[in-house]
Amino acid sequence: MATTTAPKPTFTQAMRSGYVSTGVQQVVTFALFAALATSRAAGHVLSAGVVAAMVVVAAATATVIGWTANLYGGAFDSLTRAVTPDESIEPSSSDPFATATLWRTTLLWALGAAAWAGAGAGLVAAVLNGRVAKFPIVFVSLTALAGVSVVAVNGAARRRGYASAAATATESVSLRRRAWLHVAVPFALSQALVNGGVAWLLFHAYSAEKLTSSTGFADALLVAVLMTTIFGGITRSMGAFDFATGRVHLDDPDAQTVPSRSPIGLQFMVYATFVGVLLSKLIVFVLPSHPALAAVIVARGAFAGVLVFIAAGFGYVRGACNGLKPSEVFVEVAAGE
């Protein structure tokens, strides 16, 4: 008896649903971010300058993650035929996945998003005219400026990835070099800078007596879970796509070849989270009981950078070694078979 499968969405349909889901994610994310920022501030209000800085940093950070994740997400959808091609896609022969091209393009998009969001934040500051901003203004500013740029950047990245999936690879790099140097290091550096900035946002209003080492790392478990889940997850498809298209090769095939029946699992995320918790305890032990704000900024930045380095590196290695899942392998069947 012949089996039928549900028709797959076209690329245009997938893009439309993607815009909606991304928009909802941004609304929820920035609502939480605005609530956290205002709850930690003196009087639960923020100055216009702080709001502008939040908008710029949020737009740049989300672009670094969103561009790379959606570029590979679109390419992965094309490779596995998760969506049906339509006339809205024009195949591209350029290779946006080469290391220099990937991060140069990501940086340019991040700077562009930050500039656009910053211009809008400047208008918000002018409207406030020296007055402070409460939660509604902070939330609307983040969503309308950073959130809109994120939706646009993610859509552009997914379209570029889908169109370039069949492009000839311009380089083939060893797995260890690609995973740890070309992927993990850039992600770790970006998140170290971002989390240092977030630390200033959270604690700049604290007095010297109120800011303690324990307070500075009270949310260490939450940060560890988020960093390992996000970056361990998005790098899996990066590794699988790069290996399937010849952009990365195994350093030691005997040691790195994984049987399809026993692939590398998600346990590394648990181990990375555990390492993060232990690292936070060590940092709290080393820091003075009442550290300076600069020390907390550096410590939290380093904490996030180490976690992201571990999660992104292992996530990429897992994706490359496991390869495509059986359900993801696309086999074109000739008509009549």
* pLDDT tens readout for residues 34-90: 888 888 777 788 888 888 888 998 899 889 999 999 999 999 888 888 888 777 778
Instruction: Determine which helix (DSSP H) or strand (DSSP E) holds 21, and give its type and residue range.
Output: helix 11-40
Of residues 258, 76, 55, the one with CA closest to residue 138: 55
pLDDT digits (tens, 9 = 90+) for 166-204: 888 888 999 999 999 999 999 999 999 989 988 887 888
First-to-last alpha carbon distance for the chain, in angstroms, is 15
Given the structure tokens 């060893």, which residue do they identify? 174
Q: Are the C-beta atoms of residues 306 and 188 closer than 8 Å to each other?
A: yes
DSSP 182: I
Per-residue pLDDT band at 242 (split at 50, 70, 90): very high
* Residue burial 92-106, b: 16+ Cβ < 10 Å; e: rest: beebbbbbeebbebb
Residue 336 Ramachandran class (φ > 0 left, ψ -120 to 50 alpha, else beta): left
- The percent of residues in the chain predicted with pLDDT above 90, rounded, is 42
pLDDT digits (tens, 9 = 90+) for 11-42: 888 888 888 988 898 899 889 888 888 887 77
Task: Report residue 166 CA to chain centroid gap.
Answer: 24
Cβ neighbours of residue 317 closer than 8 Å, sequence gap 6 or more: 175, 176, 179, 239, 264
Q: Which of 206-210, 221-225, 309-313 has the lowest average pLDDT?
A: 206-210
CA distances to 4, 82, 162, 238 from 73, rounded to whole Å, are 26, 10, 8, 8
Tokens found for residue 200: 């200033």
Which residues are bridge partners to 10 per DSSP?
Answer: 84
Instruction: Determine which helix (DSSP H) or strand (DSSP E) holds 173, and give its type and residue range.
Output: strand 173-174
Instruction: Determine which helix (DSSP H) or strand (DSSP E) holds 174, and give its type and residue range.
Output: strand 173-174
Mean pLDDT over residues 258-272, rounded?
Answer: 82
Residue 293 pLDDT: 92
pLDDT tops 80 at residue 237? yes
Q: What are phi and psi of 10, to 5 degrees?
A: -75, 165
Q: Are the C-beta atoms of residues 244 and 324 closer than 8 Å to each other?
A: yes
Residue 331 pLDDT: 41
Amino acid at 195: N
* Distance separating alpha carbons of residues 184 and 191, to the nearest angstrom: 11
Per-residue pLDDT band at 91 (split at 50, 70, 90): confident
Which residues are bridge partners to 134 per DSSP?
Answer: none
* Distance separating alpha carbons of residues 281 and 277, to the nearest angstrom: 6
